[in-house]
């Protein structure tokens, strides 16, 4: 049975279970699936296409440099705004991979030209950053192209980090992590509501979700990599407390979903969760990776789960490397942590087997 037949069977199944009140535009669903099939290609081809479009755009910029564009601040601004506008228009007008790859290149380069032009005009860096964020947010609202929306989210998040660093307000990175954590958690826990609210939001959901995950990782790396930015180590626990509170809420949600009602099981779950999270108080990047894993597991988001697993391996390794303890002490810490994780795993498997038997 091919995918289109499966989709028709699924719609028929939903229609029979929901009754006469169920309504859907079946033709529109089939047309959308057909359009996705026509534009489907491997990741390697997409990467090569984007790289080719980027090189072609750079060649065009080289021509503009020879023509003396970079001697004109106004010319930089005009071409920057023109590139950004053209990228948005191309994605609204066409739905082809080759157009997407070209528009992505001119979109990114458009922002670079726009920023460089304002810098040449001696505009304040904070104002430039705010303007770029506003343009990226506007393009996010106008077009719902996956890659363009994803890049827009990263641009907005990157600008927030730039503002924090350029103004030497390094400890505000905790606020950045906290806001990203809340936004990401809200997005995951309200997936069904958001996707069903409107077509525009449903198209933005996936790129914004992966964009927020990467944005959160930006903040976690800034905190987790010691001396990357000069944050106060005395306040490092601020991000951890926010992460731990959200994780405990997720644990509560998972217990509720799995209908675990016995007091003994609940106490054991909360105890093991607390034992796992306490060592991460001074390493919020680890608790952040755990948060990404739990959220992705909760909604069965495989890409996020893979990112979370890779992140936790990296952050644990980084934390282990940065510890000012002897090798024996580090080994004992890792051993105890491993035992706690194994106990949690065994307890989870035991409960799953019980539920299956029931």
Confidence band for 1, pLDDT divided at 50, 70 and 90:
very low
Mean pLDDT, the chain, rounded, equals 77
pTM: 0.77
List, as own/partner pairs, every contact residues 188-191 make where C-beta atoms lie below 8 angstroms and the sequence separation is at least 24, other chains included. Answer: 188/295, 188/296, 188/298, 188/299, 188/301, 189/253, 189/295, 189/298, 191/299
Annotated domain spans of the chain:
24-168, 170-358
Whether 128 and 115 have beta carbons less than 8 Å apart is answered as: yes
pLDDT digits 0-9 by tens, 239-282: 888 888 888 888 888 888 777 778 887 888 888 888 778 877 77
Cα–Cα distance for residue pair 53/105, rounded to 1 Å: 6
Question: 60-89 pLDDT, tens per residue?
Answer: 667 666 766 666 778 788 888 888 888 888
First to last CA, the chain: 32
* Residue 116, number of CB atoms within 10 A of its CB: 16
DSSP code of 283? -
Q: Are 305 and 293 in contact (CB under 8 A)?
A: yes
Q: What's the rounded Cα separation, in Å, for the pair 139 and 54?
A: 20
């Amino acid at each position: 049975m091919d995918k289109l037949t499966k989709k028709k069977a699924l719609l028929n199944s939903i229609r029979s279970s929901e009754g006469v009140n169920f309504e859907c535009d079946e033709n529109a669903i089939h047309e959308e699936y057909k359009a996705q099939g026509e534009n489907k290609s491997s990741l390697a081809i997409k990467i090569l296409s984007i790289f080719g479009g980027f090189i072609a755009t750079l060649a065009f910029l080289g021509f503009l440099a020879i023509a003396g564009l970079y001697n004109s601040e106004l010319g930089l601004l005009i071409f920057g705004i023109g590139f950004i506008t053209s990228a948005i228009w191309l994605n609204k007008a066409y739905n082809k991979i080759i157009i997407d790859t070209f528009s992505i290149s001119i979109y990114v380069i458009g922002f670079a030209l726009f920023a460089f032009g304002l810098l040449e005009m001696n505009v304040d860096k904070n104002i430039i950053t705010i303007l770029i964020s506003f343009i990226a947010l506007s393009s996010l609202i106008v077009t719902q192209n996956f890659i363009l929306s994803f890049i827009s989210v990263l641009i907005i998040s990157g600008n927030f980090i730039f503002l924090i660093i350029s103004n030497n307000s390094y400890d505000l990175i905790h606020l950045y992590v906290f806001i990203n954590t809340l936004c990401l958690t809200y997005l995951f826990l309200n997936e069904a509501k958001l996707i069903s609210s409107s077509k525009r939001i449903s198209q933005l959901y996936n790129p914004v979700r992966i964009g927020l995950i990467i944005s959160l990782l930006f903040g976690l790396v800034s905190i987790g990599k010691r001396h990357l930015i000069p944050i106060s180590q005395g306040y490092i626990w601020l991000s951890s407390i926010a992460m731990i509170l959200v994780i405990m809420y997720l644990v509560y949600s998972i217990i509720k979903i799995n209908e675990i009602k016995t007091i003994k099981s609940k106490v054991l779950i909360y105890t093991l969760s607390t034992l796992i999270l306490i060592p991460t108080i001074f390493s919020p990047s680890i608790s952040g990776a755990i948060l990404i894993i739990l959220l992705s597991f909760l909604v069965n988001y495989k890409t996020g789960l893979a990112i979370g697993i890779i992140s936790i391996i990296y952050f644990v390794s980084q934390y282990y490397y940065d510890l000012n303890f002897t090798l024996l002490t580090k080994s004992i810490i890792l051993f105890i942590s491993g035992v706690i994780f194994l106990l949690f795993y065994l307890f989870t498997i035991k409960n799953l087997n019980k539920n299956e038997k029931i």
